[in-house]
Structure 1
Amino acid sequence: MQCAVFFVFNRDAQMRITSENVGSLQLAKRFRDNSGRVNSLCLAPSGELCVTSSDDDSIHIYDCVQGKVKSKLYSKKYGCDLIHFAHGAKSVLHASNKVDNTIRYLSLHDNKYLRYFIGHTQRVVSLATSPSEDLFMTGSYDGTARLWDLRSNNTQGLLHTSGAPIVSFDPEGVLFAAGIESSMIKLYDLRTFDRGPFSTFNIQHHGEWIDIQFSNDGKLLLVSTRPGSLLLVDAYTGDLKSVLANTGNGAALLKGCFSPDGQFVFCGGIDGCVSIWSSSTGRLLTRLQGHTGPVECVVFNPKLFSLASASSEVGLWLPDDSDK
């Protein structure tokens, strides 16, 4: 699950996002800090830091304003994947891709594990943190989605599903979505999820679902699939608004993302390009060239106007100053 990274230079945070300036994004900097693929990225709430995990068992923390590596840690024994900031920017959660299926809670200050979350019996494929509380959710090949609290080792809630569920919190942290069997989305109220979903949307589309995200206004859901197409779904009605075709294949795990205002969707492709679509029309606006290998994830920094992408290297994209 290769994912995107790093936003540097403190640009005008009030810059309005338009099709013109996202289309002018240029690859401004490359980071070649990993010997293996970057498999996940998370941005700190402030937008000033981001953290990545890699198949080479390393964890990098980047200063997004200065555009440099802040620190580097390792998880050699257990590996690391699906990394997320856990509380502010002082600690992270990450899944394991070696030895066991435990979620680990790591202090970045002293490189010590604060807690272990044990329960999944097969590999964890989805991890989402609440935007408002010390809660997080995981989905696994063991056919369960679990709710956790950072302050307790014990599972706080358990859903049995078919297949490997993918999960995401809404922007308020009140609801969560679970993608089930790559064919349906179930919406739950976090306070009463044990009563079952309050909405179920059946989505008729081929392909394995690998990621699900809400737009920041909560109106849309973006489902990333293997081999690479993206599904735009109305979060209120479940209507499939658009299918965004992409240059994927069965080997690549291409994860898309929204712009902060939800107007645009970004996703990398196996051809080394980053594609940008309009979320309202589903129209492909532009394709940014810069990588030589598959770009499996991209992330837009909501605090600094920049886009990050990762293949075997990490790229930072900034808009052409003439379009400011």
Structure 2
Amino acid sequence: MTTIRHGEHVQPRSKMIKLSDSNVKSLVMAKSIKENTMRINSVNFSNDGMHMITSSDDDSIFLFDMQSGQKKKNVNSKKYGVSLIRFSHNISNAVHCSTKVDDTIRYLSLHDNKYLRYFPGHSKKVVCLCMSPVDDVFLSSSLDKTIRLWDLRSQNCQGLMSVGAKPVAAFDPEGLIFAAGVTNKEIKLYDLRSFDKGPFATFKVVDDYPHCTWSSLVFSPCGKTIMINTNGECIKLIDAFNGNLKYNLVGHENDAHEELEASFTPGRFSMFNL
């Protein structure tokens, strides 16, 4: 894994630069992180951008300080494996999926490497895990064709939706609604306060790359756009209010059908693709 910086100096938070074509092209490698012996399967940043957490197929979890680029913590999940790791709203804790034993989601204290809570329920691999931006609620979706709603304070599932196909899901920036993508063709919008009544809107998405499977959804910081990541050559941007296609971002050489992962930068309409 590599981290990047602008020019020769890491930018202090008080002197953050605005992104443009010219300064993005001038980004250079600042540090290469080689802590893992196997593939890093997920990366997540804290809400303030000051910390990064990674999970790997070698069952390790690393916590990094993003100002210094230094490793702060290493814990392992040898018994259960680890993937899709996400910070809670406290950077001392994280929630992650299992790759061994079963498909239980686990809530981990990074401080002492102890599990605080287990969230059983999914019967097949969990493919999506996302925290609410405002509280301790989180969503999971699975190859068992369900989406589950959870609260970190209880091991009991708070809501269950059977959608009939592999789903992906994401919260909007205000944590009031969530989007579910199903069958690689539809986006369904749910009100978190009344999700049991079904979606309040359903959009058919232009299926101009039929060989691409959706891998995740991401709302833009303004909430007006939904990004659809795939395992093909295309990333889609659609209007979050009517489902109209805004852009197809193409040109990725992805013959191995790895899941593309792109995110928006905070506060403006720019994005990076990993």
Per the normalisation by structure 1, the TM-score is 0.79
Deviations 1:91-146 (A, max 9, x none): 00000112210000000111100000000000000000001011000000000000
Residue 12 (structure 2) aligns with: 11
Aligned equivalent of 1:158: 160
Q: Partner of 1:95 in structure 2?
A: 97
Given residue 54 of structure 2, which amino acid in structure 1 is its aligned partner? T
Which residue pairs with 1:167 in the alignment?
169
Compute the RMSD of aligned alpha carbons: 1.5
Distance 1:190 1:5, change over 3 A: farther
Counterpart position of 1:293: none
Offset of residue 263 of structure 1: 2.1
Whole-Å Cα distance in 2 between the matches of residues 249 and 265 of structure 1?
Answer: 23
Residue equivalent to 2:233: 228
Deviation by residue 1:214-245 (Cα, 9 ceiling, x = unmatched): 00010111001112310010111110111111
Q: Unaligned stretches of 5+ in structure 1?
A: 268-296, 298-324
Displacement after TM superposition at 1:204 (Å) = 2.8
1:27/1:14 CA distance change after superposition, 3 Å: closer
Q: Distance in 2 between matches of 1:261 and 1:47?
A: 13
Write the letter of the residue equivalent to 2:23.
N
1:156-212 Cα offsets, whole Å, 9 max, x none, are 001101221111101111111111111111111101111111111111321110011
Aligned length: 265
String of CA shifts for 1:1-30, please: whole Å, max 9, x gaps: xxx775784534532222221222122211
SS in 1 for 2:141: strand
- Pick one of 65, 77, 80 that aligns with 2:79: 77
Whether the 8 Å CA contact 2:36–2:56 is kept in 1: the answer is: yes
Change (3 A) 1:116 1:232: same
Aligned to 1:304: none
Following the alignment from structure 2 to structure 1, what is the Cα–Cα distance between the partners of residues 27 and 2? 15
Q: 1:7 to 1:116 in 2, by over 3 A?
A: farther
CA distance in 2, matches of 1:85, 1:43: 7
Could you say which residue in structure 2 is the equivalent of 1:259? Answer: 265
Alignment-mate amino acid for residue 24 of structure 2: V
Partner of 1:121: 123
SS in 2 for 1:67: coil
Compute the TM-score of the two structures, normalised by the length of structure 2: 0.92
For the residues of structure 2 that align with 1:20 and 1:88, how far apart are their CA atoms? Answer: 36
Q: Does 1:58 align with 2:60?
A: yes
Where relative contact order (Cα < 8 A, 6+ residues apart) is larger, the structure is 1
Letter in 1 for 2:34: R
